[in-house]
Chains A and B, each alone.
Chain A
Amino acid sequence: MAEPPKLRVLMVSDFFFPNFGGVENHIYYLSQCLLKLGHKVVVMTHAYGNRSGVRYMTGGLKVYYVPWRPFVMQTTFPTVYGTLPIVRTILRREKITVVHGHQAFSTLCHEALMHARTMGYKVVFTDHSLYGFADVGSIHMNKVLQFSLADIDQAICVSHTSKENTVLRSGLSPAKVFMIPNAVDTAMFKPASVRPSTDIITIVVISRLVYRKGADLLVEVIPEVCRLYPNVRFVVGGDGPKHVRLEEMREKHSLQDRVEMLGAVPHSRVRSVLVTGHIFLNSSLTEAFCIAILEAASCGLLTVSTRVGGVPEVLPDDMVVLAEPDPDDMVRAIEKAISILPTINPEEMHNRMKKLYSWQDVAKRTEIVYDRALKCSNRSLLERLMRFLSCGAWAGKLFCMVMILDYLLWRLLQLLQPDEDIEEAPDICLCHHRGVEVSEGLRKKIK
């Protein structure tokens, strides 16, 4: 059987390293696994401080840090057409076949997908979050998503709940949406060689201290649990606007000796914090997937979590205790977790996580989605405009105008700088040569 043609994938998102989070991790690990499968992967993101230009990461992962400054919440200012020249240049330089955008919040992602479709490239979109339908922000965001996904080849969601949410928000056909969960690097999150003593039960909380992550729930849950169980202590890692409320709670209930506030915890230190505990507490009010739960379970911690979004899909029932996002119910869930704690075997839990979640599996499933995207037929401009017209009475016409202008600008760019004038970048295949990492592609070019 002939080997399948190797793909050249451009990952686009405003969220990437050195910024840390679920989306950033997802892009990085997925890219690394796709590289191991023999595909070429290039990441495009905006500049982070002095980190601008082209960088190479582990395994020859090429990252374009485009010098566009972030505008709000690490996303670039929405220019609609401003990114067209650079997106076109990168697509041509790297001979890209599939453009993969990540996260609905990312303006760079939406713009890149729009330009890629205009130029006839196959596009895939991954949604990492859940959104509401009622508030003003969500209504606007959903309209943007409807525009962005109206002309997409395939979409990926990280949970079934997320898939349902995306389909409802964007009006996308469910047949085009795949569910591929996140994974965890189990090699990084191993249980402690010696399990901490159960004389004092440690409950670990690691999250951004913001409303969405349920920091207000923690303020009510922690004092009640401490009152019921004198042998329970809390370790809270993370920072955010709700940090002050937790500090006030600590002062009010005199829990300074039982509630340890660590502040912001770098990702490299997360494991060392997790292994000091027995129970991991997640109080999120909305969550599409929650990688933190996977990391905790991989470290052998029993999880207590709110029953929201895609969380119930993440872990088997014997690894997690679910509760409604209500203080009383959460206290009951913690009581239940404490009672079943003696039956938990961290090593066994870690080994199960190894089998359940692996980035290699995620990459193979994503490969199938790319394959499906490549098989989609190329639509003419008129066919594409018809799809945008169906997005709404006024919005449809506006979307059509945006796309027509994008098409005209692309044609103008082709006139000013023809495709053949854009220099193709040599492929980087990092291999050791006299102790120095050398570009195979460039070495051939030099010779």
Chain B
Amino acid sequence: MVSLSVSNKRYTYIHESGSKSTREAIDIHHVIINGSSGTGYARRWGLGFFLVFLASSMYFLLGKDNPARTLSWGCLLSGFLVMLHSRKFVKKESVIILPTFGIQLETQYLSGKTVSRFIPIDKILKPVLVECVTPITCYWSLSLFLRGEEQLTLVFKELRPPLKMLVPIWKALCAAIGTDHQSETIAEEEHDVSS
């Protein structure tokens, strides 16, 4: 049952939860890349492959090679690069909260491949909202303090959903592990965020 849906240009957040009467219901939070962003990805990579194709074509043409051979080489190279990078395109990331058991983090790629990671509930110390800074940008990130681990664990490894999408997931995680989110603070990024 979809209980909440939030969208922006790039992402759509969907919250699926079981029956409201039982607290033991599985809680699922999806963050999906919008179609427009997918086509944006495709457009950007398409341009990249076109440039690679153009460069390889120029190389063979300057080498006074056979044009048919040039074209086939270009297609082959572009195809190989498409294959190589299509595996890295993320379709959606999900957080599945299993009360009393733990949480499962899932990443689904455009190729259909799904990568999952289960974290037992007793290993989670605290979910935190941190501001991450890279050499070129800043963004909000939802991370977990795990028992016995120095580094923070990212809930969303590939996607960077906005704060308005992260807050309900953070609240749900707080409720699942039994911390009072009203008295929480913004966590400073005191640890390196593990990738």
Using a CB–CB cutoff of 8 Å, the interface residues on chain A facing chain B are 50, 52-56, 64-68, 82, 85-86, 89-90, 93, 421, 423, 425-426, 428, 433-434, 436-439, 442-443, 445-446
Please name all residues of chain A whose beta carbon is closer than 8 Å to the beta carbon of B164 when the two chains form the complex.
445
B130 touches A68 (CB 8 A): no
Question: Are A442 and B186 CB-contacts (below 8 A) given A52-B192, A53-B132, A54-B131?
Answer: yes
Q: Once bound together, how far apart are the Cα atoms of A392 and B10, in whole Å?
A: 47
Are the CB atoms of B135 and A68 closer together than 8 Å? yes
**Contact A425 B131, beta carbon cutoff 8 Å:** yes
| Pairwise interchain contact B185-A65, C-beta atoms closer than 8 A | no
The answer to whether A86 touches B186 (Cβ under 8 A) is no
Q: How far is the CB of B37 from chain A (nearest CB, A)?
A: 11
Q: At the interface, yes or no: B102 with Cβ under 8 Å from chain A?
A: no
With a cutoff of 8 Å between Cβ atoms, the chain B residues found around residue A446 in the complex are 167, 171, 181-182
- Asked whether, in the complex, the Cβ of A423 is within 8 Å of the Cβ of B162, the reply is yes
- Stretch touching chain A among B15-23, B59-67, B137-145: B137-145
17 A-B pairs (CB sep. < 8 Å)? A53-B132, A53-B133, A53-B189, A65-B133, A66-B133, A86-B138, A89-B136, A423-B140, A423-B162, A423-B163, A425-B131, A426-B163, A436-B183, A438-B184, A439-B185, A442-B186, A446-B181
Query: Per-residue 0/1 for B143-166: is the Cβ within 8 Å of any A Cβ (1 yes, 0 no)?
Result: 000000000000000000011100
Question: Once the chains are docked, how many angstroms separate the CA of A89 from the CA of B132?
Answer: 12
8 A-B pairs with the lowest CB-CB distances in the bound complex, closest first: A53-B189, A54-B131, A85-B136, A53-B133, A439-B186, A434-B183, A436-B183, A89-B137
- Interface residues in B, total, Cβ within 8 A: 29
User: Does B9 belong to the interface (CB within 8 Å)?
Assistant: yes
Q: Is the CB of A67 within 8 A of B134?
A: yes
Of the candidates B140, B162, B189, which one forms a contact with A52 in the assembled complex, judged by CB atoms under 8 Å apart? B189
Contact of A89 with B138 at beta-carbon distance under 8 Å, contacts A53-B133, A445-B163, A445-B167 already known: yes
Q: CB distance B138 to A93 under 8 Å?
A: yes
Let me know if A437 and B130 touch, CB within 8 A.
no
CB distance from A184 to the nearest CB of B (A): 29
Q: Which of A52, A85, A426, A437 has the most CB of B within 10 A?
A: A52
Residues of A within 8 A of B132 (CB): 53-54
Using A423-B162, A442-B186, A445-B163 as known contacts, say yes or no to A85 and B137 having CB atoms under 8 A apart. Answer: yes
Q: Please determine whether B138 and A55 come into contact, CB atoms closer than 8 angstroms.
A: no
CA–CA, A312 and B175, complex, Å? 64
CA distance A437 to B185 in the complex (A): 6
Closest residue of B by beta carbon distance from A417? B137
CB atoms of B136 and A86 under 8 A apart:
yes
Distance, CA A86 to CA B171, complexed state (A)? 29
Q: In whole Å, how far is B64's beta carbon from the nearest beta carbon of chain A?
A: 37
Minimum CB–CB distance from B131 to chain A (whole Å) comes to 4
**Are the C-beta atoms of B167 and A54 separated by less than 8 Å?**
no
Whole-angstrom distance between the Cβ of A440 and the nearest chain B Cβ: 11
A423–B9 contact, CB under 8 A?
Answer: no
Q: A55, B133: Cβ atoms under 8 Å? A: no
In the complex, which residues of chain B have a beta carbon less than 8 angstroms from the beta carbon of A89? 136-138
Task: Assess the A54–B183 pair: CB atoms within 8 A.
Answer: no
- A interface: dominant SS: mixed
Closest-CB distance, B145 to chain A (whole angstroms): 15
Tell me, in angstroms, the Cα distance from A50 to B186 when the chains sit together.
Answer: 19
User: Quick one: which of B138, B164, B189, B192 has the most chain A CB within 10 A?
Assistant: B138
In the docked arrangement, what's the CA distance between A64 and B188, Å? 11
- Hey, what's the 0/1 contact readout for B44-81 against A, CB within 8 Å counting as 1? 00000000000000000000000000000000000000
Chain A contacts for B10, CB-based, 8 A? 421
CB distance from A395 to the nearest CB of B (A): 29
State which of B134, B136, B167, B185 has its C-beta within 8 Å of the C-beta of A436. B185
Cα(A54)–Cα(B132), bound, Å: 7
Question: Considering only CB atoms, which chain A residue lies closest to B193 in the complex?
Answer: A53
Given contacts A66-B135, A423-B162, A434-B183, 15 further A-B contacts (CB under 8 A): A52-B189, A52-B192, A53-B130, A53-B132, A54-B138, A54-B189, A86-B135, A89-B138, A93-B138, A423-B163, A425-B131, A436-B183, A438-B183, A438-B185, A446-B171
Chain B residue at smallest Cβ distance from A421: B9
* A residues less than 8 Å from B184 (CB atoms): 436, 438
- Contact across chains for B185 and A67 when beta carbons are under 8 A apart: no
Residues of chain A within 8 A of B9, CB atoms compared: 421
| Contact bitstring B1-45, A, C-beta under 8 A = 1, else 0 | 000000001100000000000000000000000000000000000
Shortest Cβ distance from residue A71 to the other chain B in the assembled complex, whole angstroms:
14
User: Chain B contacts of A86 at CB under 8 A?
Assistant: 133-138
Provide the bound-state CA to CA distance between A93 and B139, in Å: 9
- A425 and B133 CA atoms in complex are apart in Å by 13
Give the residue name and chain of the B residue nearest to A438 (CB).
Answer: B185
CA distance A220 to B189 in the complex (A): 50
Shortest beta-carbon distance from B24 to chain A in Å: 25
Q: Which residues of B contact A50 (CB under 8 A)?
A: 192
Query: With A67-B133, A67-B134, A86-B136 known to touch, is A55 a contact of B188 (CB < 8 Å)?
Result: yes
Q: How far is the CB of A193 from chain B (nearest CB, A)?
A: 38
User: B110-138 CB contact bits vs A (8 Å, 1 = yes)?
Assistant: 00000000000000000001111111111
Assess whether B163 is in contact with A90, with CB atoms less than 8 Å apart.
Answer: no
* Cα distance, A442 to B184, chains bound together (Å): 10
- Chain B residue with minimal CB distance to A68? B135
